Structure 1
């Protein structure tokens, strides 16, 4: 009986100490690094050195610091470096690990991967990737169609405007919007129950292959994002 009580106390203690994510990641309002830490996100950091040459051929070096925050826990890759858990691009090299990590994605993350990247302490972009949308997860919004995306932000009275592709014809990008004045791109499929949301806070680009560069078992090289 005594051992049972002790075990219950330990379990309750662990549960109470677990950080609960209270951020609505579907809003485009910027969040801070501290907020992400307080909500249980994992931090991955490194620096990148840029070599530029001026007119007199002297090399100028500048350091760029990246801090990536993710809801995906860390693991050691083949080189022993700490990376987010590999979720994609196994290429049949480790079927056991692939099954284990696929289980983690589906059952522990509810098929949703959330990524924030800061460059020199400024929020660069946010990416939300939902591998398979399931109605049973109430905290995960259904963005599997253009109509559902617009309806969600309209319901919160948040400004959402389509991005114009051709000003002469009025043609718009089907998956790009200005949401609360932040350019945001969506990929979605109602048939396959899949979607991806990408908001850029520093540049005009609305694409970055997060699956390939952050969750494939290696450290991403970021120089092409500068």
Structure 2
């Protein structure tokens, strides 16, 4: 298992604020230029990666990360630029909470889209949808059947991932879509669903809302 620890956060952000014309629910890889052209904000940072193959634990490699998000930046309590806070508000932040959630509902249409590139290669993407407005023109990925039907109708290959090769049991939330490993998650109680597509390794889920969209970006961990 490898840990990735952020040591330098948010050098810059860029946004053209152009109209977004990408269907992000498809798994076809997107370039950084595509995201810039569609008005995404760019957040850059570097991190240390533990290397399990090295004997000396003090030797680690450095990776460059570029995160593209449809969420605009704001300054946190320390004065650092970070994506607008959308979760984990405290009581004293009631005014900010109301303002930021209005932005989430009205401007973002209750949808967060995040792409992460590592050393300029697409690493993963995650889409979080909150059901503030169920009339939105977005896929209803709340069941195995809905997921299959959506991609079948677009004539895109979608195959459930095998959970147990001996019994043939399949996951109900993990698929190969155009041969890219994708996981869907849904909470009726909390009223949201999400989609996570991995382009680089085998981990299939990492809910980034509590880290990147909670007004703090001091340290983050990924688990492979």
TM-score (norm 2): 0.85
Q: Which has the larger radius of gyration?
A: 1
Across the two proteins, how many residue pairs are aligned to each other?
208
Query: Does the CA contact (< 8 Å) of 1:48 and 1:223 recur in 2?
Result: no
RMSD: 2.2
Aligned position for 1:143: 141
SS state at 1:175 partner: strand
Q: Which of 150, 168, 171 is residue 170 of structure 1 equivalent to?
A: 168
SS in structure 2 of the partner of residue 95 of structure 1: helix
> Is the contact between residue 110 and residue 131 of structure 2 (CA under 8 Å) also seen in structure 1?
yes
**Is the 2:206–2:222 Cα contact (8 Å) retained in structure 1?**
no
Tell me by how many angstroms 1:31 deviates.
0.3
| Cross-structure match for 1:88 | 87
Q: Verify the 8 A CA contact 1:42 1:69 in the aligned structure 2.
A: yes
| DSSP-derived class of the 1:196 partner | strand
> RCO higher in 1 or 2 (8 Å CA, sep ≥ 6)?
2
**Taking structure 1 as reference, are residues 103 and 116 closer, same or farther at Cα in structure 2, changes over 3 Å only?**
same
Tell me what 1:184 maps to. Answer: 182
1:156 is matched with 154
Which ranges in structure 1 are unaligned for 5 or more consecutive residues?
A: 1-16
- Offset at residue 62 of structure 1 (A): 2.7
Which segments of 5 or more consecutive residues in structure 2 lack a partner in the other structure? 1-15
Query: Within 1, Cα distance between the matches of 2:48 and 2:199?
Result: 22
Deviation (angstroms), 1:51: 6.6
Task: Give per-residue Cα distances to partners, 1:149-169, cap 9 Å, x unaligned.
Answer: 110100011010001111112
1:113-124 aligned at under 5 Å gives the runs: 113-124=112-123
Distance of 2:94 and 2:172 partners within structure 1: 37
Is the CA contact 1:126–1:199 (under 8 Å) kept in the aligned structure 2? Answer: yes
What is the rounded CA distance, in whole Å, between the counterparts of 2:50 and 2:176 in structure 1? 34
Cα drift, residue 81 of structure 1: 0.9
TM-score, reference length from structure 1:
0.84
